[in-house]
Amino acid sequence: MTAAALSANGSSPASTRGEVSIRDLSKSFRIAGRDFPVIRNLNVAIGAGESLVIVGASGSGKTTLLRILAGLETADAGDVRVSGRQVSGVGAERAMIFQEPRLLPWVNVLGNVAFGLELRQGARKVPRREAEAQARHYLSLVGLTDFADAFPRQLSGGMAQRVGIARALAVQPEILLLDEPFGALDAMTRITMQNELTRIWHEEQVTMVLVTHDLEEAVYLADRVLVLPKEKHRAPRLLDIDLPRPRDRSSPAFTRYREALLQEFGLH
Ligand SMILES: Nc1ncnc2c1ncn2[C@@H]1O[C@H](COP(=O)(O)OP(=O)(O)OP(=O)(O)O)[C@@H](O)[C@H]1O
Ligand SMILES: [Mg+2]
């Protein structure tokens, strides 16, 4: 259960669907005439179907890293590949889920889930009936079959986030990027959603990169946890979570991993 520093060449040329390779990634932001480094020389390889959870203090660059993977932000230096292809701009093979589900308020649940499919152009365009059938499949996967005709304002926070997950999955992405997806939910709903996400991730066999502030959530969901340091002179760390699934939150081994993460932040 030791956290190992990342090796400089820890990634292999990615060619399998869902593999992610991040090499020598650096990103600074220029604020009031000064450059602030946010990510410095990050190297990490994520296996196809792996669940990588990113934790780090506020401002450590978690959202920035996800946005670079999504193609919403450009890196200053380095090479980022998903399924062997260099990331440049957004793409349907990389679906992002935010803390708020960002649903279209005037479109019903089914329409929100089908939305991404109907936006497609050219050879990948899906006829409306097919898009709806696919949307219904993903609604059932998140347990919302009975709410297909409901509107977003009629949903609880947890239900709305499920719709967001169904919408992201409906386009059958190679990688799911989630930025504090359950951060706005109450503790009990959050646990239900973590259980559901684990089941969905397992069924869909999709690569998952998830950001959270919640260390218990990190231990529950992750194959590996990437710890981003706030002080940029320190190297990012990777922690393997070697626990069988489904995970038992009350087991001594689970608690030990949580404590190991607390220690990473000097909070133990
Ligand atoms: N568009 C931007 N322009 C300028 N600075 C930015 C921009 N986006 C992020 N930053 C800066 O980059 C740093 C990292 O931001 P980021 O949002 O990635 O942090 P985070 O780890 O997601 O934090 P939090 O836990 O609070 O969400 C912050 O210091 C922030 O001020
Ligand atoms: Mg953030």
Distance CA 263, CA 91 (A): 37
Query: Is 153 a member of any domain?
Result: yes
Please report the pLDDT score of residue 83 as a whole number.
95
Q: Which atom of ligand 1 is nearest to the CA of 213?
A: 25
What is the total count of domains within the chain? 2
Q: Are residues 89 and 188 in the same domain?
A: yes
**How far apart (Å, rounded) are the C-alpha atoms in residues 79 and 225?**
21
Nearest-CA residue for ligand 1 atom 8 is 64
Same structural domain, 71 and 166: no
Confidence of residue 122 (pLDDT cuts 50, 70, 90): low
Q: For residues 20 and 176, what is the distance between their CA atoms, to the nearest angstrom?
A: 11
- Which CATH number goes with the domain that contains 16? 3.40.50.300
Q: Is pLDDT of 121 > 80?
A: no
The answer to the question of residue 251 being in a domain is: yes
Whether residue 128 has pLDDT greater than 90: no
Q: Is residue 33 assigned to a domain?
A: yes
- The pTM for the full model equals 0.91
Once rounded to an integer, what is the mean pLDDT over residues 161-181? 94
pLDDT tens profile 39-62 = 999 999 999 999 999 999 999 999
CA–CA separation, 109 and 258 (whole Å) = 36
Distance from Cα 150 to the centre of ligand 2, integer Å: 30
* 264 and 241 in a common domain: yes
Instruction: Give the pLDDT confidence of 210-230 residue by residue, as tens digits.
Output: 999 999 999 999 999 999 987
| 125 has a pLDDT exceeding 70 | yes
Residues 2 and 73 in one domain: yes
Q: Is 99 a member of any domain?
A: no
Domain of 207 in residue numbering reads as 1-93+178-268
What would the 3-class secondary structure string for 13-73 be?
CCCCCCCEEEEEEEEEEEECCEEEEEEEEEEEEECCCCEEEEEECCCCCHHHHHHHHHCCC
Does any ligand 1 atom lie closer than 6 A to the CB of residue 246?
no
Instruction: Using alpha carbons, list the distances in angstroms from residue 124 to 16, 82, 110, 165.
Output: 21, 19, 20, 21
